[in-house]
Structures are given as structure tokens and as C-alpha cells.
Amino acid sequence: MEKVVYVLWRDPATPVEAWSRTLRERVVPALADAGGRGLQVNVSDEAVAASIMRLVELEPQMEATVSLWVDSARDAARQVHDRVLADAPGVRELAAYLVTESEPLRNTQHTVPAGERTPGFANLAFLRRPAGMPASAWLDAWHNGHTEVAIATQSTFGYVQNVVARPLTPDAPTIDGIVEELFPTEALTSLHAFFAAADDEQLADNMQRMAASVARFGADRAIDVVPTSRYVYGRVRPD
């Protein structure tokens, strides 16, 4: 089985909440009918509009992802899924990426039935490997050096790392990694809550540790961070 992450840009003429409903109520069933084995929607909607942690590299910035688990991501097998998303109302543009998924921190605290909104919010970070840094060194610094620091210095209750194996659609923007971190609602507007800090001293220490760690693999620059609401549909087609 392979995992495809579709990165989506919204048509500005389409209201955010209407677009979110379209993705969840029309796109998800259509993808499931087309053979999707597992589905997840992340959308930057009104529930996360107050976030203080959005970082913008691409203009316009992506506003949603649809993660799709399929038997095969080859072009011929994927055409039907591409078409469902490209034709969905409100989708201005899309890019698809084949990824390998690692989940060093599974969400066991705030589980909900399939299709319901996960409590809190999910920060999506779109990473680019620095020019001149070997892929092996970049991956080692991210997975083996940074993972424990990220979990220790933030209030995350879920953490997923997607390494981009290759882009699947023409002219897809350069993205080398897609991170999803789950945070409590309070972290939308509070640095202390975001960095799991009881006081200013701990906040400064956690922020410093985090900054030094991300700098080692270039995640302190050329990065998009998009707060989203998360909807997991799990396994939608039996074997």
C-alpha cells in the first residue's frame, strides 16, 4: 500500500467553510468509491483562523491536504483520484506527492469516531531540504536528531512525519517533507501552551532548544506552516 498526500489550494471565491464541507462531504465519499483504502482531510478553516504560528513561504499558500492510502500510486491507477480532487468545487490547484510515513507519537489521548474533527488542531509544516545538504544527512538530523526535541519542547499529542519520495503531478512545488503535529486548542493563541511551558523561563528554554534543533536541517527557513482542522476517516474499504 502507498500513501499519497494531495496538497490543495482554495479558489478565493469559495468561502472557507463551504470548501471544508465539500472536501469532507463530497470528495471523501468519491475517493472512497474510487478505491481509496484510507483517508484523512486537513483543512485550514475558521476553527484555526486565530493561530499565531502560521508561516508563509509560498504565495498563495496551500490551505488543505487530503491524505489517501491506495494499492498503487502509479499514474494510471491514480487518475481517478486526481480527477475527483481537481474537479471538486473550490479547488484552485493541487499537487500530489508520494510519501513514506513515520508516526513517532500516535494520538491516543483525543481519539474520535471516523470522520469527526480531532480535538485541538493540526499544524502542517512543509519542509524543504537545504541546497547542498545530502538527503541522508537531512533525514538523519530530522528523524534521529529532532524528533525527541520536538516532542519534549511542545505540547503535541500526535506527531506524523511524511518524507516525500517523489512528486506525482507536473510542476508540483518543491516539498521534501510534510510534518503533522497535533496540539491542544490553547496552543492556537498561547506560546506557553504551544511550547508546554509553565513559566517564562521554561518557555525561553524550550523555544531556544527548538530553534537550534530545526536549524540543523533547515526547518528554520523556506517553510510553510499551516494550522488545520483534522478529520480522519481510517480504513474505508474492506479487503
- Of the pLDDT bands very low, low, confident and very high (cuts 50, 70, 90), residue 237 is very low
Q: Does residue 239 or residue 148 have the better pLDDT? A: 148
Beta strands in 13-144 (DSSP E): 38-43, 64-70, 91-105, 121-127
- Give the model confidence (pLDDT) of 66-87 as tens digits: 999 999 999 999 999 999 999 9
Dmax (CA) of the chain: 55
- Give the model confidence (pLDDT) of 120-139 as tens digits: 999 999 999 999 999 999 99
C-alpha grid cell, residue 62: 496551500
pLDDT at residue 238, as a whole number: 45
- Of the pLDDT bands very low, low, confident and very high (cuts 50, 70, 90), residue 36 is confident
pLDDT at 91 over 70: yes
In the chain, % of residues over pLDDT 70: 98
- Give the model confidence (pLDDT) of 162-179 as tens digits: 999 999 999 999 999 999
pLDDT at 44 over 90: yes
pLDDT at residue 197, as a whole number: 97
pLDDT at residue 8, as a whole number: 98
For range 56-72, the mean pLDDT: 96
pLDDT at 37 over 50: yes
pLDDT at residue 235, as a whole number: 56
**What is the DSSP code (8-state) at residue 145?**
I
**Sign of the dihedral through C-alpha 214, 217, 219, 221:** positive
Cis status of the peptide bond prior to 60, with omega within 30 of 0: yes
For range 147-151, the mean pLDDT: 97
In the chain, % of residues over pLDDT 90: 95
- The full set of domains in the chain, from first to last, is 2-235 (3.30.70)
pLDDT at residue 231, as a whole number: 97
- Of the pLDDT bands very low, low, confident and very high (cuts 50, 70, 90), residue 111 is very high
- Of the pLDDT bands very low, low, confident and very high (cuts 50, 70, 90), residue 220 is very high
Classify burial at 148, counting beta carbons within 10 Å of its beta carbon; exposed 0-12, middle 13-18, buried 19 or more.
Answer: exposed
The predicted model scores a pTM of 0.95
